[in-house]
Amino acid sequence: MTACWELNEKCVCKWMHPSEAPCPSFQIRKGCWEIDWVEIISSLSPEKKEYWKKFMEKCPNCPVYALHKKEKDDTLEKIALL
Ligand code: SF4
């Protein structure tokens, strides 16, 4: 399956080494619809938690969202409650 960083031409990570990338999805080389964002975001500091919550408000505008809407909507609903 095509990875999110290949589908999203605006991905800031795609030319980085995974160990240097800020996105947990890219770090572990799994699609953004496949990783447990709730667990990841819950374990962050309040500042980083807010950063990622804001970051994911952009998800509906990403081409990955259209292809994985069900998984993304489930995740975004749970993240909104954190
Ligand atoms: S979730 Fe991360 S790796 Fe995937 S497209 Fe977005 S920024 Fe890139």
pLDDT in tens, 27-45: 999 999 999 999 999 999 9
Phi, psi of 81 (to 5 degrees): -90, -5
Q: Which of 1, 4, 12, 76 to mutate to test the pocket of ligand 1 (most atoms within 8 A of CB)?
A: 4
Please give the average per-residue pLDDT across 72-82, as a whole number.
Answer: 95
Give the distance (Å) from ligand 1 centre to CA of residue 51.
14
CA 16 to CA 40: how far, in whole Å? 21
CA 81 to CA 8: how far, in whole Å? 26
Please give the average per-residue pLDDT across 52-73, as a whole number.
Answer: 95
Phi, psi of 26 (to 5 degrees): -70, -35
Q: What is the pLDDT of residue 1?
A: 84
Burial class (CB in 10 A: 0-12, 13-18, 19+), 70: exposed
First to last CA, the chain: 30
